[in-house]
Amino acid sequence: MTVIDILTRVDTICKKYDVDKQRESNISGDNAFARLYGAFETQIETALEKAEIVTKEKNRTSAVAMNAEIRRIKARLAEEVPKLQRLALKRVCKVFSQPKSTVENIFSLALVVSRLRQTTISTESEREET
């Protein structure tokens, strides 16, 4: 294990158990959406960090193991998406005092716009690479 690996692990552990960050997340208290979204974001950051490490990894065995970890994280996140959507829908309905169908239409429109932006960004980056 190299010094860089040790420093990376220590940094990850410090982020995980950061007292100030936990206090900020407890401010939302009864807001289930904020808690789940915070956990969701943390897992995404973890997966992105591991993906970055995999690209630099020279040992194929550890790269394969880390890729398997990333796939497991993605599977867990995919399971959590419906819960997050339901909580977001409840939260938005409460905030805007709109009927559920109106809010669902707004969400679907936002999702389509988001997908279009991602597609545009990915095609632009592919053009730049070539």
Does 63 have pLDDT greater than 80?
yes
Residue 30 pLDDT class (50, 70, 90 cuts): low
pLDDT score recorded for residue 108: 67
Other C-beta atoms lying within 10 Å of the C-beta of residue 103: 19
**Contact at 8 Å (CB) between 8 and 53?**
yes
Taking only the tens place, the pLDDT of each residue in 7-25 is 787 787 777 777 666 656 5
CA distance 67 to 71: 6
Give φ, ψ of 77 to 5 degrees.
Answer: -65, -40
CA distance 87 to 91: 6
Taking only the tens place, the pLDDT of each residue in 72-126 is 988 888 888 888 888 877 777 666 666 666 666 666 667 666 766 665 555 555 5
CA distance 58 to 51: 13
Residue 41 pLDDT class (50, 70, 90 cuts): confident
CA distance 77 to 47: 10
